[in-house]
Structures are given as structure tokens and as C-alpha cells.
Structure 1
Amino acid sequence: MRRKIPSTSMLEAFESAARHLSFTRAADELSFTESAISRKIALLEEYLGVKLFSRVKKRLQLTDAGKSYSLMVQQSLDKLEMDTTLTMAHDAGRIQLELAVLPTFALKWLMPRLNEFNTLHPEVTIHVTAREEPFLFSEAPFDAAIHFDHPVWANATSTYLFTEELIPICSPQLIGGKHCRKPADLLNYVLMHKTGRPEAWSRWFELAGCPDARALKGPRYNMYAMSIEAARRGAGMALVPRTYVMDDIESGQLTVPWEMLVPGAKDYYFVVPEQKQASQAVQVFLAWLLKVAEQYRDVSEQVHA
């Protein structure tokens, strides 16, 4: 059955005119005459049976239907352009892996290690996209994800990597050295929170033996990367996954004011939908990922010891 889709030329003309609210500027952008743009939009309105533009005091405006349709058309054209570009960039001699990863995990843990994988497996191209929230594989162009466990992955295979461990960090300059004298001293500084973990600092102080209502106060950031950078700049104390700050601690940019790791509420998993489990790229990447995750767990055990 033939799809009910207007021509790309009509949609491009409409999208440009809607964005500029001007047939003249759309004509300049697309290298058409203004009358050609007007004609294409008239044909589109006829095809849809809906008025997309109106004129109020000689000024071009979108109708309500035009506003809604313009957003959908822009998104569709953007996706079509991206899909086309990705296809043009496809290298038939290599295998591809589209990977969704938690943003700060990608930046602080995966990317520093990924060059090792690229050296070992030059035949595989990894495309990494940051995704904060869980998603349905059926609605996203990914072969796999590194994420927390979640019910949305019900029809996928989740392979355990390691457990999140939270550790307090700050700038050495903030405390005039590397450590505080006792855990309660941290309460004298600004405590920075992860938006989705408002109770984390309270739990840390309870386990440290000094519960305090002040542990709930302080600014909140929706990404660990933000609080890590704020801590580096001396804005206060952050409680973050140790995986994200090992290099910063080793380099001396950050310090641990009180050495106490707290198991986080999350475990990291490599998640693969059923239809992608036989993928060569997935299998090769997973084998490497399990090896480096085990190395990380070994280091973590040494820290606890």
C-alpha cells in the first residue's frame, strides 16, 4: 500500500518557511523562487486538506495545525538527514556498534578505556551516545546499552559489570590538605547532591556514625559530571561514584576528605536486546568489557582491603 507521505520537496519548503515565517527567506535558503515556495506549500495544504499558514496584517503566521505539523516535520527531516549521513559514512569493511551509555559513565569510565578496545579490535567501530534515561530498544537505534538495571529491559539480556560505590570528594584547597579530622567535619562545607539521590549524603553520614539533618541541605545537580566539576573548582563536597574520579584523585585535582566507601543503590549492566545478541560487534565488545570490568572490581577489592 502506498504511504501517505507528501514529497520531500514540499516538506522542505514548508519546514523552511515555518522556521523563518517567510516565503522569501525560505526561497533564499533553498535556492528557489518565492513563487515556487508558495506553490509547493499550496500543494502541501491541498494534499493535507489543512491550512498551514495565515496572514495577519500582511505578516505570515502558522495556524495551530501548522505549528504542530512544523515541529513533527522538522524532527522527521532531521532524523532522515542523520540516517542518510550515517548510511553514507558506512564502511563495508568494518562492523559497527551503536552503544547508549550513561553520560558521566561514558565520559569518566568508558572513554578513558576505549582506546584499548580500538587497538585490540580495529575492525569494530563504536558509536557512543549518552543516554541518561532508560529507553525501549524498539524505539531507539541502539545495539546495546551500559546502564542501570530497569524494568524496561525486560526483553533484553542484562550482564552484570560492577556495583556503584559512592565516595566523598572535594578540592584539596577547600580543606587545606588531603583529609578532614573526622567525618562530621564534612558538614561544615557545602554538600552537593545528585538530583535523583537526595538521600545519599544522609546515608553516608549515618554509616559514618554521625547522622545529621544538615546532610539533606545543599545544591542539586542532575548529572554527576556537574558536581564533580563544581567540587574541582572548590564549590563544596560531592558524593559520587568512585569510578568517575579515580584519575582526578590520582592526579591530585581532587581528594577524599574521609576514606569511607558506601555501596550505591545501583549496579551497572551491559544490556542487549534479543535481536542483537548474535551480533559480532556485540559479542566482541562484551568480551572486552567483562575483562576490564573484572579488572576494575579487583582494584575495588584492594581498596576495601
Structure 2
Amino acid sequence: MRDLPPLSSLRAFESTARNQSVRRAADELCRTHGAVSRQLKLLQADLGAPLFSKEGTGLKLNQSGQALYSLVSSVFEQLEHGYARVREQALQSGGLHVACGATFAMRWLVPNLADFYRERPDLRIRLSMTSAREIRTEGADLVIAWDLTSYPENERKRAFRLGPTAFGPVCAPAYKRAAKAGIRIGHDFNSSGWTHWDAQSKERIATGEEITFPHTHLCIEAAVSGLGVALVEKRLVQRELGERKLIAPWGFVELPFSMMALHASGRNISEEVIAFTSWVRARLEADSA
């Protein structure tokens, strides 16, 4: 059995010494002034010596207090950093952190995850539903995106293909008549999409002004509301096409970029990454069949 004072007494002492105030320590620890004072009295009684001396209206550490504070603050700092590392490892253990576009996550990945979990009930996916461009440095094990043009060349070289993509202009049925010269809806982080469409297609669609949104979901909603013509990947608008909220009069074509995967730099490709990307590849191929 370790001969140590209660952790609550040490926390009260460390906070009081650092803040030079029992009141501020009580606020920090979400305790009453009286509760912190009692913890300090218990600690001093256990030690057999006072730890503070009065200085005006505040408290000042005496020689014993200085010695104990140096020890406790150092141990607490090590404990804090060590606990954070263990917690992060625990969160990552048995799981895979995947970063991808929010619309892809909501409209394709999450609805299909039940199928993946039937194959791999031991492997949990932790999603960051945000722009893949924004998540690059946040520790994701894997980034999934179909436009890596903003990434450094060395990262693009490490990326590998998951499956084909088919993009096409979509609009509300009532907007079709005005679509040729109408408003073009673009994506803030995928500005090359319409450029590739114009280069590949004989149809010049939405030659009027252009408005952009930061997420594909917003582009889709803008098109549904009759605001203009959006260029989107076919899988992401299957529901709207089926419900006739959107139409695709000019069809869908495969543009010169595919769904790509980029594993974290400086790490080996893990068995979990291989299992997940193999499943994504198979599902994407099945969808496009």
C-alpha cells in the first residue's frame, strides 16, 4: 500500500498554490471555498507542517510548500500528458479514423456502413465529416476525396484509386428550360469540375453567372430549390433523381479524376486501411455496374 495523501488534497493544494488563492482554486475545481480549505488542512495535518504563510490578503508558499509544489506540479504535468496519450491510443485502438467530404459521408458512406460492419464487426470507423482539404493535418488514418489537386505532389503520388466517378449537371425539373443560360452552381473546393465538363461535353450548360458553396450538400439543395444547375457526382443525388426533385437531362460522364484514398504520411498501410479501402472499392464498383 502506497503511503500517499488523498489525490483530492493534492489537487486542492496544487490549484491553491498556482492561483495563490483558495477562492480561485475553488472556482477552478468547482468546489466550495470551505471544501478546499478542509482539504488543505487535512494535507497539512498529514504532513505535520504548514504549507502557506499569510501575505496581506493572499497566501504565499513557505519553504515546505515550495518543495511540495515543485514535486506535485511536475507529477501532475506528467500525469496529464501521459493520460492524454493513453486516452488517444484508446480512442484509436481497434478503429480507423477516416476523413472525407461531409456529403459523401452522409449520402453514401454512412448508409452503407452496416454492410461493412457485417464483414468487420471488430473494426469501428471514426469519421471526420468535413472538407478533406481541411482535415489533412488532423491525424486521420485515411483521407477519401475525388479532387486532390490542392495537395502537394508527393502526397498525390501516394494516393490510390478506389473507384470511378460520374459527374453530371442536375437541376430542378422546372428549371430545365432556363438551364442553358442559367446560373451555374459550383463547389468552393472543387473548382475544376465545371472546367472538365466543358472540355469533355458538347453541351454548354449554365453559361450565366456562377455561385459557389462550401459543401456539395448545399450545391444539391440549391439546385433542388431551383436556384441553378449543379455539377455533382451521380451517387450523391440518387434520392433526388428517384423522387424527381432533380433531373439530369445531359447525363453523367466520367471526368478525369476518380475517388481516391490517401493514407497518413509516415505510417505503413495498416491491415485496417487495406480492409476498409477494399470494401469501399468493391461497393463503388458495384454501384457503377
Deviation at 1:193, TM superposition (A): 1.7
Residue of structure 2 in register with 1:228 after alignment: 220
Deviation at 1:142, TM superposition (A): 2.2
CA–CA distance in 1 between the matches of 2:139 and 2:224?
35
Correspondence for 1:195 among 178, 183, 188 = 188
Residue of structure 1 in register with 2:285 after alignment: 294
User: What is the SS of the residue equivalent to 2:254?
Assistant: strand
Deviation at 1:129, TM superposition (A): 0.9
Give per-residue Cα distances to partners, 1:111-152, cap 9 Å, x unaligned. 221111012221111111124244797x53322221244436
Q: Which runs of 5+ in 1 are unaligned?
A: 1-8, 18-22, 48-76, 299-305
Q: Which runs of 5+ in 2 are unaligned?
A: 1-10, 37-57, 61-65, 71-79
Deviation at 1:255, TM superposition (A): 1.8
Residue of structure 2 in register with 1:96 after alignment: 95
Assess, with a 3 A threshold, how the Cα gap between structure 1 residues 170 and 30 changes in structure 2: closer, same or farther.
Answer: farther
Is contact 2:167-2:234 (8 Å) kept?
yes
Matched, 1:267 2:258: yes
Give per-residue Cα distances to partners, 1:84-126, cap 9 Å, x unaligned. 76666677xxx21111112222222212211110122211111
Deviation at 1:221, TM superposition (A): 0.8
Deviation at 1:217, TM superposition (A): 1.1
Deviation at 1:228, TM superposition (A): 0.6
Is contact 2:181-2:208 (8 Å) kept?
no
Give per-residue Cα distances to partners, 1:5-55, cap 9 Å, x unaligned. xxxx79x97xxx9xxxxx97985463256898x979xx9xxx9xxxxxxxx
**Comparing 237-246 with 153-162, which one deviates more in the overlay?**
153-162
Matched, 1:255 2:247: yes
- Percent identity among equivalent residues? 21
Deviation at 1:163, TM superposition (A): 3.7
Is contact 2:183-2:208 (8 Å) kept?
no
Structure 1 letter corresponding to 2:213:
Y
Is contact 1:163-1:263 (8 Å) kept?
yes
Determine which structure has more spread, i.e. the larger CA radius of gyration.
2
Structure 1 letter corresponding to 2:288:
R
Matched, 1:122 2:118: no
Residue of structure 2 in register with 1:112 after alignment: 111
Structure 1 letter corresponding to 2:167:
L
Matched, 1:151 2:171: no
Deviation at 1:245, TM superposition (A): 1.0
User: What is the SS of the residue equivalent to 2:105?
Assistant: helix
RMSD across aligned positions (CA): 4.4
Q: TM-score, normalised by structure 1?
A: 0.59
Matched, 1:281 2:272: yes
CA–CA distance in 2 between the matches of 1:32 and 1:156?
55
Deviation at 1:82, TM superposition (A): 8.0
Is contact 2:196-2:256 (8 Å) kept?
no
Is contact 2:198-2:204 (8 Å) kept?
yes
Deviation at 1:225, TM superposition (A): 1.1
Residue of structure 2 in register with 1:241 after alignment: 233
Is contact 1:189-1:236 (8 Å) kept?
yes
CA–CA distance in 1 between the matches of 2:172 and 2:138?
39
Is contact 2:172-2:245 (8 Å) kept?
yes
CA–CA distance in 1 between the matches of 2:195 and 2:158?
34
Assess, with a 3 A threshold, how the Cα gap between structure 1 residues 236 and 112 changes in structure 2: closer, same or farther.
Answer: same
User: What is the SS of the residue equivalent to 1:260?
Assistant: coil
CA–CA distance in 1 between the matches of 2:229 and 2:83?
44
Residue of structure 1 in register with 2:209 after alignment: 217
